[in-house]
Each structure stands twice: as structure tokens, then as C-alpha cells.
A and B are shown apart, each in its own frame.
Chain A
Amino acid sequence: MTIDTPASTTASSVRGTSTPATRVLGVLSIAMTLWLGVFGLLLSPADRDQGDAVRIMYVHVPSVWLAYLAFIVTAFASAVHLFGRRHSLQADRVAGASAEIGVVFMAVTLVTGMLWGRITWGVYWQWDARLTTTALLFISYVGYLAVRGLEGSREQRARRSAIVGLLAVLEVPLVHWSVKLWRSLHQEATVLGTDLDVSLDGLMLFSLFVGVVAFTLLFLWLLLHRSRMLTMIDLSAESGLDTALAQRRAEGGASV
């Protein structure tokens, strides 16, 4: 098994995780997010039925998109690690970084969804198929991150988490199917239906589009930084022992 470290990179020689490309990406995603704020809060109209609550959607929809994108990237990177000839550890770090970002944005999705639900449906939670699947998905990826935190070598961590990452792909459709069947057979009477017939106004749709683009850029930006960060953590763990030995030797030499 190869341990691929970026050429000519050591923990001490790297000063940060940014490069000109990530700086541009960062500026772009901040600019897009500000633009989203302007569109979402000021320019787009309030909804006829939902009022200003509809503005939550401009964060909710892009963050769920980002979370799904992140989990797809995790699954893909896990497959690259597991089935690739080199068993690339870089792919494993990308999978880990992506899952971390996905979990954060899944949490954002759940919280914003609950707030919107409280205002629009009158309740924070509905046991409908989509909400339940989303909550279980969130917990599953928290479990995935727990697996990444287990003791063991980096190769062990990479293989374990790649398998768990791919098993999650098996799990999602099964959970969704069963929850959907559960809800369709045992539909309880609800005062407010969960299906709102929403035909989006043009400006609203455009604001959502801005949100999706902004969050995609944000995802790429965070992913690059976080996976580089994980590389540095691995490198520093690798060189940590050598550095400590050199320091002790220097101390010993100085005291003699």
C-alpha cells in the first residue's frame, strides 16, 4: 500500500491551506453568499401564503443540495480509495472532509426545515417520509464520522470508513423506501397537509438558483481547505515523532 504525500510537502514547509485558486474561490463564494442575502432578504417578494417565512427556503434548499452533493462526493471518493489500484489516502481524506461538510449542512437543513415547519405547518416535525429519511441519513453520517475517529493506522481508518461510506449508499434507498411505505399505509390525519402547491415566482426561483450556486462554490472551497487540512494533520502525525526525537536529542546535546 502506498502512502501518497504531496511531492515536496512536509508539515513544517506548509504554512497554510490556501492557494491562489482557493482564494479566488473563497472570494467568489463569499460574494455569491452576499448576493444571495440581498436577493433572499430584500429583492425577492414575500410569499402570498407563507409570508416572509418563505425566505428560509433560500438557505434550506441550497444546504440540502450541498449536503447531498457532499455525501455523493464521499461515496465516490470512498469507491476510489477502495477499488483504485493505489488505494489513495488522498481520496480517503476527500471523503472525510466531504462528509464533515455534509453533516454540518444536513444539520443546517434540519434546523431551517424545522423552523419553517413551525411557522407554516404549526409543528416542528412531521413524520413524513422525506423528513424521517433525512434525519436517519444525518445520524448515519454522524456514525460515519465516529468510524473515522476510531483508533488504528491511517490505512485502517481509510478502509473502514470507505466501506461504511459505501454501505450508507445501500442504506439510503432502503430506508427511504420503507419509511415511504410506512407513511403511505398509515397516513394520519393532519390539519395542515405537508404538500403545498407552490408555483414559484420568477424572482424566487432565481434567488434559489443563486443560493444553489453560492453553496456549491462554498462546498468546493471548504472541501479544498478541509482536505488539505486533513493532509497536514496526517503529515504532522507522521513527522511528530521525528521532531520530538530531534528535540530530545538537541536537549541532551545541550545539557552535556
Chain B
Amino acid sequence: MSSPSRLQVARVVFAKDVRIERRSKGLTSKIMPFAVVTIVLFAFALDGDVILQRTAPGLVWLAMLFSSMIIVQRSFALETADGALDALRVAGADMSAVFWGKCFALVIQLLVLELVLLAGAIVMYGIELRGSGVVLLVTSSISATCGLSAVSTIYAGLASGVRGRESLLPLLVLPVASPVLIGATRAAEAAFGTGGTVVSEGWPWLGVLSVFAVVFGFGGSLAFGPLIDD
């Protein structure tokens, strides 16, 4: 039997992760409620419609960042619990393909979460999306999510199977992910027009987010093998 190509491995890992998530319903039963509670708590902490409308994009992305930590921990807890990553390695699977599979499964989950959070912000914070900002919002959210997933997958792979990884992962990921937070928030502000911003102010941020996603995507696919290969 010929060994599977990288694309096949990536597709199988991706399908497996998405299937596990769909059946275990972790995203809908645990993470979405957590994210929604965060959105509500922000409203308690920042009492006042004006402040909330001004800060809504930033709050959405903060809630995303915190929730993504939980999602990515879950995604790797599955792999290490039964030594699944070791099994993949023994089976001769290409580790960069495993990286891409897991990364894209994470992208899908985060995008679903983002939709929920944005809808929550529109309903609860009273922000309005302009027609001209839709393209910017969608493209910047997708590239921000790709970058965030790539970074999280690299560091979660590193911390997988290590004691104390719950506290280590945020320490490693959050500083690195700060360009994503800045870029995605500013782009979303431009798309929503918060603080009198215009849509054209958001486009440079799409550039930052795309470069980030490409750099850490390729960095991750190179580094993931050696990181896991112990």
C-alpha cells in the first residue's frame, strides 16, 4: 500500500477533529456558553451603552482569544489522552500535514464561535454593521482566525502531554497573538464604524493579519514535526 499524501493526511486529521467536535458537542455545550457569559460580564463591567458600542469589537476579540485557549487545549487533550499523536507518528504520518489538519479544524470551530460572538455583540451591545464593511469584516476575521489557529496549534503541540499546560499555553500564545488582537479589533472597528472610523482605515490591518497568518502557518508546518517528534 502506498503511503498517503500530505493532503490526504491533512484531510483525514481535519475530518476527524471536526467529527469529534460535532459528536461531543463541546463547542456548543461548553465553549459557546463561556463566550456568551464573557460578553455579558463585559457589559456588567463596562456599564453604559456608549462605552460598550465603542469597545464592542475589542471585547468580541478578547472573548475570542480567551475561548480559543479552551478550544485548542481540548483539541490536543484528545490527542494526548490515548497517545493518539504517538500513534500517528508511528504510522508514519507527515507531521506538517497533521499540523495543517488540526489547524484548519480549529479555524472552522473558531469561525463558528466568532459568528455567535458577533451576533451577541450586535444584539446586546447595539452595534450596527454597515453594508460597505461586510467584505472587510469577513476577510479580516478569516485571516485573523487563520493566524490565531496557526499560533495556537504550534504552542499547543509543544505543551501537549506536559503537566501544567493549562497555565503555560496562555503565557506562550497570548503575547504572540497580540498582533491578531490589535489587527482584528481595528479592522472590525472600521467595518462597524465605531468611533467615527471609515472602512478604508481597516484595509492596512488586513495586510498585517494576512502576513501574520502566512508567517506562522509556514513556521508552524516546519516546526511542528520537530516539536512533536520526541
Contacts and interface: CB of A to CB of B under 8 A. Distances in A.
Contacts of A136: 175, 178
Interface string A131-143: 0000010011011
A164 interface: yes
A160 B179 contact: no
Contacts of A151: 162-163
B208 A178 contact: yes
B115 interface: no
A170 B226 contact: no
A177 B163 contact: no
A175 B226 contact: no
Contacts of B216: 170
A159 B229 CA distance: 10
Tell me which of B163, B208, B223 has the highest count of chain A C-beta atoms within 10 A of its own C-beta.
B223
Interface string B158-177: 11001110001001100110
Given A142-B171, A152-B230, A185 B223 contact: no
Indicate the size class of the contact surface on chain A.
Answer: 20 to 34
B172 A185 contact: no
Tell me which of A151, A156, A166, A174 has the highest count of chain B C-beta atoms within 10 A of its own C-beta.
A174
A182 B202 CA distance: 11
A156 B230 CA distance: 6
Contacts, number: 80
B226 A163 contact: yes
A146 B172 CA distance: 9
A38 interface: no
Contact of B175 (A140, A156, A177): A140
Nearest to A179: B182
Interface residues of B, number: 29
Name the prevailing secondary structure of the A interface residues. Answer: helix
A147 interface: yes
Given A178-B178, A178-B208, A182-B186, A146 B171 contact: yes
B204 interface: yes
A82 interface: yes
A178 B215 contact: no
A186 B178 CA distance: 17
B230 A167 contact: no
B93 interface: no
A174 B217 CA distance: 14
Contacts of B163: 151
19 contacts: A140-B176, A143-B171, A147-B168, A150-B164, A151-B162, A152-B162, A153-B230, A163-B158, A170-B215, A170-B219, A171-B175, A174-B208, A174-B212, A175-B175, A175-B176, A175-B178, A177-B208, A178-B208, A181-B204
Interface of A: 82, 136, 139-140, 142-143, 146-147, 150-153, 155-156, 159-160, 163-164, 166-167, 170-171, 174-175, 177-179, 181-182, 185-186
